[in-house]
Chains A and B, each alone.
Chain A
Amino acid sequence: MRKLSNELPSGYTIRFAERTDISAIMRFIEKYWKENHILAKDKDFFEYEFSIHTEKINFVLLLDAEGDIVGILGFIPYDETNRDIFTVMWKVLEHDEIMFGGVLLLQYLKEFGECRHIYTSGINEGTRNIYRYLGLQTDNLRHYYRVNKNMEQHLAVVCEKEKKTESEIRDNGFKMTLVEDVEMFKMKYHPNPNPNQIAKSSDYIIHRYFEHPRYKYFVYEICEDNVPCNSYIIARIQEHNGSKALRVIDYLGDTYLIEGLSCAIEQLLDELQCEYIDFYEYGIDDKILEHAGFKRNSIDSKNIIPNYFSPYICQNINIGIVFEKDTNPIIFKGDGDQDRPS
């Protein structure tokens, strides 16, 4: 990563946030990010989001000579060692005295956060070149979907007729079993040892998906012939006007297993009465998703698979991502803050 060596003006400081900073950070978000943002209004949710694994608050702050916050960079660590982290909420006020304060925050996090790799999802398009200049890779999540052929589509706009393929009819022994016992999950789940995959601890998964204060997530364990595969697919239902969509939010374990889930997905869509299932991801082989019955959607497609439901917006959108070169990560919609109430 290229490194800026700009010095801070006299009196300015960069440091990690403490709990005593929470109110000031929330005021900053309210004033400079979005007035009615949940993180500006709901202190309990703020603490839920930014104090996993720690008594500290997962923000880096830029403060001026008066001690006022002029820049923030939030982050979400995926285990207690901060090994892999996603940055969220990056905002620095434009100031005559300091240039590139945002980059200095990012550099501080990389240097003093003791993290292996930094990632970002849902980037502002105006920042893409900042990341590129710093030597980071940028791309977009890929968007896949699969319609429920037994239901009319009221949420998505799907112009093509979907054809049944052999894999959709054949029950191949793969099942998705809902996990409701958190202690059982903790005993059975082992983070994927693949060094290229982002390492997510069981504490992170439990906090993120079993203990979420606002959303109901479904955590399904994948089994082949009734043998658990240490792989999980995590989804959430979103509704509008009585119609439901199933959104895949995260995936844990070996991604090749997704290939065998075509029949199980078809059954799940019927069981949950969802019009379609969609999957924003990066890093999974296209063939795996295609064999599972998914089709790829693009932003300029005539088909529309919406992402926003609160409020509902019938529009294809890109979700930009950033990662360090030579990491080859696998990233999902649930990473960072792309599936969070706003």
Chain B
Amino acid sequence: MEQRIRSVIAKVNPKALECKGIDLISEIGIDSHDIFNIVVELEEEFDIEIDPAFLKAENFCSLANIEKMIQKLS
């Protein structure tokens, strides 16, 4: 799952392939624009709908948190 998430984020920011994934904002500098791009790609990749209520910085700050969010939505 983590690798799939990395690949998705890498479509938006290629640095995601090499980063630790613990603090995406400081490691690869994702911003709110990037989050929308990542959300659209995640929805397509995992066939889920990410409700606006989940659009919070803490859900996207690390690979582990993104994975938790996807599991909640699956």
Contacts and interface: CB of A to CB of B under 8 A. Distances in A.
B31 interface: yes
A94 interface: yes
A132 B57 CA distance: 20
A4 B35 CA distance: 13
B31 A133 contact: no
A129 B52 contact: no
B72 interface: no
B39 interface: yes
Contacts of B32: 94, 99-102
A129 B31 contact: no
A101 B35 CA distance: 13
Nearest to B34: A126
A324 B49 CA distance: 19
B69 interface: no
A130 B36 contact: yes
Instruction: From B31, B40, B51, name the one whose CB has the most chain A CB atoms within 10 angstroms.
Output: B40
Given A99-B57, A133-B39, A4 B33 contact: no
Q: How large is the interface on B (under 10, 10 to 19, 20 to 34, 35 or more residues)?
A: 10 to 19
A130 B6 CA distance: 20
Interface string A87-107: 000000010000111100000
Given A94-B31, A99-B57, A2 B36 contact: no
A129 B40 CA distance: 7
B71 interface: no
A288 to B, nearest CB: 34
A293 to B, nearest CB: 40
Contacts of A101: 32
B57 A129 contact: no
Q: Which 10 A-B pairs have the closest CB atoms?
A: A129-B40, A130-B36, A4-B52, A129-B37, A99-B32, A129-B36, A94-B31, A133-B36, A100-B32, A2-B52
Interface of A: 2-6, 94, 99-102, 126-127, 129-130, 132-133
Interface of B: 31-33, 35-37, 39-40, 51-53, 55-57
